[in-house]
C-alpha cells in the first residue's frame, strides 16, 4: 500500500523521480503529418480548448503531489509519455499547479504514426541539463516495412550536484497480441542496452536511470534482458493481483517502471541512493463506481468523454542524498 508520512517526517535530503503516461495529451490543432484527427473540435473525440485545459489541470494536480509525503517538493525529474509536441509540455509546466516549481522540459518529435512522443520535465533549480539526444527504434512490421514508433530519449545532467543519465521510453504496444508483438519490445530493450553501453564507454561508473511505459511487466523477457545483473528493478517486487499502474479487463499490469543502475544502492557521501518505489494510486484518481470501479479514471473510454486524468497511474521513487 501507499506509505503516508506526517509533515514533520519530511526530509530535506529526500528527492523524487517519477514517470507518468499522460494518455493522449494532444493539443486541439490538427497536425497534417500525423493521425491526430480525432483530437480536434471536429474529430471523433470532440476535443476542444475546455477539455484540453481541464486535462492539463488534472495532470498537473497529480504531478504536484508525487512524493510530497516525504520530500518538500514535487519530483525533480518527471519522465512522460503520450505527449504530442512541445506546446503541450509548455502548457503543462506553466499550469497553475506547476509554475512555481521552475520546471523546464526536453522533447523531440518522433516519427510515431499517432504523433505521440516521450519527454522529460525537470526542476531547473535542482537539475542542470547538460545534454540530450534521441535514438530511433528501428523495427519492421509483418510486411517488412519500417514500423514507426517512439524514440528513446536520453538526458544527461547534474541532479542536485550529481551527474546522472536518464533514458525515457514508451515501447511498442501489445495491440497486435502479446506474443505477436513481443519481438518489438525485445528490440527496444536491445536499443536501451546499446545506449547504456555507449554511456559506459565514456564513464564506466555512470549512474543511469531507465524509465518508461514498457508495455511489459517486470517479469517479461524484454525487461529481464534490460535489467540483467547490473541494474535493479524495484517494481518487480511490487507486482500484485490487486495493484498495478494500469488495468485491462480484470487484470492489473505494471508496465510503468523506473529501473536503476546498481550504483544507486551505494551510500557514498554527497551521492544519491535509492530508498524505495511507489505507485501513486490515490482514490481521487480512480473510478469510484460501476464495472470499472478502482481503475484509473481516464479522459475517454472509447469515444465517451469522462474528464479524468489518465489510463495509467504514475510511478515514482525516493532518492536520499547522503
- The predicted structure's pLDDT at residue 221: 98
Total domain count for the chain? Answer: 1
User: What would the pLDDT profile of 215-227 be if each residue is shown by its tens digit?
Assistant: 999 999 999 999 9
Within a domain: 170: yes
- The predicted structure's pLDDT at residue 35: 63
- The predicted structure's pLDDT at residue 241: 84
- The predicted structure's pLDDT at residue 1: 31
Within a domain: 7: no
From start to end of the chain, where are the E strands?
A: 14-25, 77-83, 103-107, 117-123, 127-135, 152-159, 162-170, 208-213, 231-232, 246-248, 251-253, 256-261, 272-279, 300-301, 304-305, 315-321
Task: Name residues of the chain where pLDDT drops below 50.
Answer: 1-7
C-alpha–C-alpha distance, residues 115 and 170, integer Å: 13
- The predicted structure's pLDDT at residue 7: 45
- The predicted structure's pLDDT at residue 98: 98
Within a domain: 5: no
Which three cell numbers mark 66?
508525487
Which range of residues forms the domain containing residue 192? Answer: 12-321
Within a domain: 3: no
Within a domain: 78: yes
Within a domain: 57: yes
CATH code assigned at 138: 3.60.10.10
C-alpha–C-alpha distance, residues 255 and 201, integer Å: 29
Within a domain: 134: yes
- The predicted structure's pLDDT at residue 283: 97
Within a domain: 39: yes
Residues 6 or more apart whose CB falls under 8 angstroms from that of 41 comprise: 28, 47, 48
Amino acid at each position: 500500500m501507499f506509505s503516508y508520512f506526517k509533515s514533520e517526517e519530511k526530509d530535506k535530503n529526500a528527492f523524487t523521480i517519477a514517470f507518468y503516461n499522460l494518455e493522449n495529451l494532444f493539443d486541439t490543432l490538427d497536425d497534417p503529418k500525423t493521425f491526430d484527427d480525432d483530437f480536434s473540435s471536429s474529430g471523433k473525440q470532440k476535443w476542444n480548448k475546455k477539455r484540453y485545459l481541464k486535462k492539463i489541470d488534472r495532470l498537473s494536480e497529480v504531478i504536484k503531489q508525487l512524493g510530497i509525503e516525504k520530500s518538500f517538493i514535487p519530483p525533480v525529474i518527471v519522465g512522460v509519455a503520450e505527449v504530442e509536441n512541445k506546446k503541450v509540455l509548455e502548457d503543462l509546466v506553466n499550469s497553475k499547479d506547476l509554475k512555481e516549481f521552475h520546471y523546464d522540459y526536453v522533447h523531440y518529435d518522433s516519427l510515431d504514426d499517432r504523433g505521440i512522443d516521450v519527454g522529460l520535465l525537470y526542476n531547473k533549480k535542482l537539475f542542470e541539463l547538460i545534454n540530450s539526444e534521441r535514438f530511433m527504434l528501428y523495427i519492421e512490421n509483418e510486411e517488412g516495412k519500417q514500423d514507426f514508433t517512439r524514440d528513446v530519449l536520453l538526458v544527461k545532467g547534474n541532479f542536485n550536484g550529481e551527474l546522472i543519465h536518464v533514458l525515457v521510453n514508451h515501447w511498442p504496444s501489445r495491440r497486435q497480441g502479446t506474443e505477436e508483438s513481443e519481438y518489438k519490445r525485445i528490440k527496444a530493450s536491445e536499443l536501451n542496452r546499446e545506449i547504456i553501453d555507449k554511456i559506459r564507454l565514456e564513464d564506466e561508473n555512470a549512474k543511469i536511470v531507465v524509465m518508461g511505459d514498457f508495455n511489459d511487466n517486470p517479469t517479461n523477457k524484454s525487461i529481464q534482458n534490460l535489467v540483467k545483473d547490473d541494474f535493479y528493478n524495484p517494481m518487480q517486487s511490487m507486482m500484485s493481483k490487486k495493484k498495478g499502474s494500469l488495468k485491462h479487463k480484470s487484470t492489473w499490469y505494471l508496465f510503468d517502471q523506473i529501473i536503476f543502475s546498481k550504483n544507486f544502492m551505494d551510500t557514498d557521501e554527497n551521492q544519491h541512493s535509492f530508498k524505495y518505489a511507489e505507485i501513486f494510486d490515490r482514490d481521487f484518481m480512480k473510478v469510484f463506481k460501476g464495472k470499472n470501479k478502482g481503475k484509473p479514471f481516464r479522459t475517454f473510454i472509447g469515444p465517451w468523454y469522462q474528464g479524468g486524468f489518465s489510463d495509467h497511474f504514475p510511478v515514482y521513487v525516493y532518492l536520499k542524498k547522503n
